[in-house]
Amino acid sequence: MNKLLVLCGLSASLLLAGCQSVNTTSGGAVGVERKQYMFSMLSSEEVNQMYAQSYTKTVGEATNKGVLDKTSSDAKRVQVIADRLIAQAPNFRPDAAQWKWEVNLIKSDELNANCGPGGKIFVYTGLIDSLKLTDDELAAVMGHEIAHALREHGREAMSKAYGMEMAKQGAGALLGLGQDSLALADAVANYGMTLPNSRSNENEADLIGLELAARAGYNPNAAITLWNKMSKASEGAPPEFLSTHPSSSSRTASLQAAIPKVMPLYNSAKK
Ligand SMILES: [Zn+2]
C-alpha cells in the first residue's frame, strides 16, 4: 500500500486540508495509470509560486554570469525541440496549453537538464556536448523532463514530506497550522526539487517522455541510445543528471517494451 495513503488515513480525521487523489495526467498510449495522492492545501499554484523564486534566481544568476545562451545554434535547436514537445503536452493534460513554459540553455560543463513545476526547462550545454546528442536524443531527455513536470512529481514529493512532517508534529501542532504552514511549505520545498526521483517516477517520466517525443516526430528509439550514452558517461564520475534521475537496469527494458506502442504515433507525426 502506498505509504502516503497510509499517512493520509492516519491523519485524515485531524486534517481539515485532507489528502486527495489527484489526476495529473491521462494515461496516454503508454498507459501511465498510477494513482497519485497529494494534500489539497499544497496546490499546484502554491508549488509553482514557491518554485518561481528559485527559478527567477537561477535565471538571474546565469544572466549575470553571461552563461544564459539565447543565440547559439544549440540554443535554437533546444528551443525548436522544446516547442514541438510542448505542443504535445496537452495530450496528457489539457491545462498544459496555458502553462507559462520557458526554455533556457545554460553554458556549463554539467551533464544536466530539468523541467521545474509549471514548465520551466533548463538544458546544460555539457549534456549536449559531452554526449553528442542528436535531435532525437535531445527530444528524449527533454521529453523525460517535461513528463516529470506534467505528472507534478515535485509536488508529490513535497506533499509526501508535508504528510510526514505533520505526522511527526501530531495533532497539537496541526491545530495551529494556518500560520506555520508557509514555513512548513518552505522546508518541504527542498524535498521536491533536490532529492532523487523514485524508480516509479523515473519509469513514468520515461514512458510519457517517450510518447511526447514520438508525437512530436522524434524517433523513440533514441531513448535507448540516450540512456546507453548516459550510462557510459557514468563510468567516470556520474553525471549530475543521474543523481536526481537514478537509472536502473530495468530502464531500457521498459523503454524497449513501450516503443511499439508509440511507433504508430511517430509514423503519423512524420507524415
Ligand atoms: Zn527523471
Q: 178 CA distance to ligand 1 centroid (A)? A: 33
Q: 199 CA distance to ligand 1 centroid (A)? A: 9
Q: Cβ atoms within 10 A of the Cβ of 132, count?
A: 8
Contact 208, 25 (CB under 8 A): yes
Task: Classify the C-alpha dihedral 228-229-230-234 as positive or negative.
Answer: positive
Q: Read off the pLDDT band of 267 (50, 70, 90).
A: very high
pLDDT given for residue 180 in this prediction = 56
Q: Read off the pLDDT band of 17 (50, 70, 90).
A: low
Strands (E), the chain: 19-22, 36-39, 68-69, 102-106, 113-116, 120-124
The 10s digit of each residue's pLDDT in 153-193 is 999 988 887 777 777 666 445 545 555 555 555 555 666 66
- Cα separation, 34 vs 24, in Å, equals 10
Q: 201 CA distance to ligand 1 centroid (A)? A: 7
Q: Cβ atoms within 10 A of the Cβ of 155, count?
A: 26
Tell me: pLDDT of 224 over 60. Answer: yes
- Cα separation, 226 vs 22, in Å, equals 31
Q: What is the pTM of this model?
A: 0.88
Nearest-Å Rg of the Cα atoms of the chain is 19
Q: Read off the pLDDT band of 3 (50, 70, 90).
A: low
Q: Which of 145, 204, 211, 240 is catalytic?
A: 145
Amino acid at 86: I
What mean pLDDT comes out for the span 240-248? 83
What mean pLDDT comes out for the span 195-200? 84
- Cα separation, 228 vs 249, in Å, equals 11
Q: Would you give the end-to-end CA distance of the chain in angstroms?
A: 44
String of b and e for 205-229 (b: at least 16 CB within 10 Å)? bbbbbbbbbbbbbbbbbbbbbbbeb
Length of the chain: 271
- Cα separation, 271 vs 269, in Å, equals 6
The 10s digit of each residue's pLDDT in 98-156 is 999 999 999 999 999 999 999 999 999 999 999 999 999 999 999 999 999 999 999 99
CA proximity to 70, closest of 38, 44, 102, 23: 102
Q: 114 CA distance to ligand 1 centroid (A)? A: 8
Tell me: pLDDT of 269 over 60. Answer: yes
Residue with cell 523513440: 220
Q: Does residue 69 or residue 163 have the better pLDDT?
A: 69
Q: What is the residue extent of each domain of the chain? A: 2-270
Beta bridge partners of 68: 106
Q: Is 45 a catalytic residue?
A: no
Q: In the predicted model, what is the mean pLDDT of the chain? A: 86
